[in-house]
Chains A and B, each alone.
Chain A
């Protein structure tokens, strides 16, 4: 702010308040809907004030499943989502740390080739290789399994590059000091490099947890059994049913539950989240 312009300041706040309201409005409506009874959505318009059915709605979706549509309970699906998100985040970080370490701290034939092979994954999102990837997963008997949900997604060019970039900024002398101290490569990796990467790992974890939790197309493709459904992919099925029998209260309870964990992660770890987001694009 260069000069004092009360009008502009006021306008800024106004713009921001409108922005915050627009951003929050759909979620507010979803939360309100999740507190109402089923009859509130038969006609008229969506209610904008909370109702008394919060507990029973959430209890129903979490543990009982939506009886009218035969949808399974959401609780176990959230667990599936959690398992998937954690495996993907930890897996990506682990294998990317190792590959970045190899690429930065060793010289070996085909190093460049390995680098480019990893780079290419950036250009091959699931969406462009749907059918053949599905076939590979099916051939490996990974359909309807936690391994199938997570392993094919844990290759990561972004994470590898981030760690490579970071390792390049670690002073050479640290590795030399460690060598003089008698540390071999893996000891150096574990005792020096890993502790130094803590912040980067945490920042990346936030981003990757969100990435894993929000997977949609992938679980949709490779799960057919309800016990492997994730919450994000299940919402669609519930909403389809809700269109016929308007049970928006339970759909919206599911929506709230589906976004709660990743949103909490972002809000509670905002600094790490921003760091992770901006660094991983460099």
Chain B
């Protein structure tokens, strides 16, 4: 950990300064997390009278539960879908903005504001656009012969939530790609141009490889976003349906624990989610450490 040369000598003051942060961290973060871990090894009888220690039974049940396995699969499809769609769109837009020197600020302004829209609000807007009876997009799709109905079709529902979740994330990715692009030394591009590489060749041989750290970082961030920050999208629209088709892990843990009050199972699900976040955070920080060494 980096240190300052000058420090103040007070012995008690730093603890007072840290107290609010640590108190909240402990009461609302560490303690509940510990409770979740503890609870994941316990089971209550149906009347809530007796609690017994059951080792890994909650986990065993969880991973034997087809609904949970389905949720894992749904989450993977959803997260990868969101990451792919929003990353590709954002990269194309960022490359285009790079070329338009004079108007780039205006375009940037017009592209970044969706970041500010709440996931639940985004969900409702797309839900409305895709409304099977009066929605504009199903109407357009019907003209090419596709009958859109996300209330019935699993695929349609998944596509809907992926589009909604991606729409919001494009602005974030766009800004980071733009920052990454402007960090590529211009002399490098010019050298390649003098060597005779056209725009497409330059992109694939120079720009994209130079962007790969940014891309990797964004990939992780997008997966985290899709897994943990999209609760609102799902809850405001499909509510995990139809027939579990969009029941991602965070929605399921909410449903099972908060609505269904299945404490053991939801605690085990929480712990699994914790492990996933920890793994993703570690990957992300490894990457940042490596970047710092450049």
Q: Please tell me if the beta carbons of A12 and B96 are within 8 angstroms of each other in the complex.
A: yes
Q: Tell me the complex Cα distance, A63–B202, Å.
A: 57
Query: A102 to B193, Cβ gap below 8 A?
Result: no
Bound Cα distance from A199 to B108, whole angstroms:
21
CB distance from B287 to the nearest CB of A (A): 11
Q: Is B69 in the interface zone, CB < 8 Å from A?
A: no
Q: List B contacts of A244 (CB < 8 A).
A: none
Chain A proximity mask over B104-121: 1 for CB below 8 Å, otherwise 0: 000111111111111111
The binding surface of chain A is classed by DSSP as: helix
Q: What is the number of contacts between chain A and chain B, taking CB atoms within 8 Å?
A: 312
Does A24 interact with chain B (Cβ within 8 Å)?
yes
Contacts of B11 in A (CB 8 A): 108
A236 touches B28 (CB 8 A): no
Q: Please provide the chain A residues from 51 to 109 with a CB less than 8 Å away from any CB of chain B in the complex.
A: 94-96, 98-99, 101-108
Q: Within residues 179 to 203 of chain A, which ones have a CB less than 8 A from any CB in chain B?
A: 179, 184-186, 188
Q: Does B99 contact A (CB under 8 A)?
A: yes
Q: Which residues of B contact A117 (CB under 8 A)?
A: 22, 25-26, 30
Chain B residues, Cβ within 8 Å of A274: 112, 175
Contact of B29 among A155, A233, A270, A281 (CB under 8 A): A155
Asked whether, in the complex, the Cβ of B124 is within 8 Å of the Cβ of A120, the reply is no
Residues in chain B near residue A49, CB distance under 8 A = none
By beta carbon, the residue of chain B nearest A176 is B6
Contacts of B101 in A (CB 8 A): 1
Most B CB within 10 A of own CB, among A22, A106, A130, A152:
A130
A132–B33 touching, CB < 8 Å: yes
Give the residues in chain B near A251, CB-CB below 8 Å: 124, 128
In the bound complex, how far is the Cα of B13 from the Cα of A263, in angstroms?
Answer: 40
Number of B interface residues at 8 Å Cβ cutoff, please give it: 103
Contact B22 A112 (CB under 8 A): no
Contact A27 B18 (CB under 8 A): no
Known contacts A46-B136, A48-B136, A236-B120: does B22 contact A114 (CB below 8 Å)?
A: yes
A30-B125, A99-B17, A277-B115 provided; 9 other pairs, C-beta below 8 A? A19-B92, A129-B270, A131-B36, A213-B118, A216-B235, A239-B236, A258-B118, A263-B113, A281-B217
Nearest 6 A/B pairs, CB to CB: A132-B32, A214-B118, A262-B116, A132-B35, A102-B17, A106-B14
Residues of B within 8 A of A (CB): 1-2, 4-8, 10-11, 13-15, 17-18, 20-22, 24-33, 35-36, 39, 89, 92-93, 95-101, 103, 107-122, 124-129, 131, 133-136, 139, 167, 170-172, 175-176, 179, 189-190, 193, 199, 202, 217, 221, 228, 231-232, 235-236, 250, 253-254, 257-258, 263, 266-267, 270, 273-274, 277-278, 281, 288
Residues of chain A touching chain B, judged by Cβ–Cβ distance below 8 Å, are: 1-3, 5, 8-9, 11-13, 15-16, 19-20, 22-27, 29-30, 33, 41, 43-46, 48, 94-96, 98-99, 101-108, 111-112, 114-115, 117-118, 120-125, 127-137, 140, 151-152, 154-156, 160, 167-168, 172, 175-176, 179, 184-186, 188, 210, 213-214, 216-217, 220-221, 232-233, 235-236, 239, 246, 248, 251-252, 255, 258-259, 262-263, 265-267, 270, 273-274, 277-278, 281-282
